[in-house]
Amino acid sequence: MRRDHRPYVLKRLDIEFQRWYTGHFLRPQFYHLGKAPLFMKPWYVEIFGGPIELGSYANVIATSDKKVRITVWSNAKQEGKIKIGDYCLICPGVRIGAATEITIGNSCMMAQSAYITDSDWHGIYDRSLSIGQSAPVKIGNNVWLGDSVIVGKGVHIGDNSIIGAGSIVVKDIPPDVIAAGNPATVVKNLDPVRHIKTRADWFANARKLAAEFDKIDRLFLKNNTFIGWMRSVMFPRRGD
């Protein structure tokens, strides 16, 4: 469909249901989940093992064909953890798997199908080993991982850096650069003079931001009706 045919009140009920689902089913699975998370289709988010922490004002988007999976799997007690900072964006298909430790800073963006792991998940010479070699991963603040990026074990990505779509990161990436390729290498330095606006800046006045989005919904959905929405669902036609 080209547009949302739902009446405003129906969309609000859908949003509230997703918030309820997040609080009732997902929050207990986290060691810590910060305030005001926004999960879209939270029933397609899988949390396994722990401890797993996700900061405040997180946006997590999942779909039926691209679930979000955040997993801790370790052979040793007291090992294996994932900590994700505030204001982060996690898009459909993102997978984060830790055997030792994965730390992701504030205001990071993980595009569709990005994969972050701190382990080989099998031994090189002993394929029966379920973990293999493992080393902590650290991703700084305001890092942007492009579509289908893979971040491997032991990698440190510096603040503000961007990893281009499809890249495979197996060595450290410094701060304030754009890196791309397989293996990912620096292709450009960011302009040190220009200010970088982060997701934290975007959420500086969270209530005002929410009110603006609500105003947009009211404007674009004001003429929608329940009958029209049902017609679009049951009998879709060109232009819907």
Q: Which of 24, 122, 156, 195 is catalytic?
A: 122
The answer, yes or no, to whether residue 22 has pLDDT greater than 80, is: yes
Q: Calculate mean pLDDT across residues 174-188.
A: 98
149 in the same domain as 76: yes
Q: Provide the pLDDT for residue 60.
A: 98
Total domain count for the chain?
Answer: 2
Measured from the Cβ of residue 26, the count of other Cβ atoms closer than 10 Å reads 19
Question: What pLDDT was estimated at residue 182?
Answer: 96
Same domain, 122 and 234: no
Q: Are both 175 and 94 inside the same structural domain? A: yes
Whether 195 is a known active-site residue: answer: no
79 and 188 in a single domain? The answer is: yes
Q: Are residues 45 and 102 in the same domain?
A: yes
Where are any strands of DSSP class E within the chain? Answer: 32-33, 38-40, 45-48, 52-54, 59-61, 68-72, 81-84, 89-90, 95-98, 101-104, 109-110, 115-117, 137-139, 144-145, 150-151, 156-157, 162-163, 168-169, 177-180, 185-189
pLDDT, average across residues 159-172 = 98
Specify whether 14 is located in the same domain as 37. no
Mean pLDDT of all residues belonging to the chain: 94
User: Which range, of 50-59, 104-113, 171-180, 231-240, averages the lowest pLDDT?
Assistant: 231-240
* Whether residue 141 is found in the same domain as residue 98: yes
Model confidence at 1: pLDDT above 60? no
pLDDT at 238: 85
84 and 183 housed in the same domain:
yes
pLDDT for residue 46:
97
- Quick one: average pLDDT of 10-20? 95
Residues 105 and 139 in one domain: yes
**Structure token digits, residue 88:** 């982060």
Whole-number pLDDT of residue 77? 67
Structural domain boundaries, residue 64:
32-202
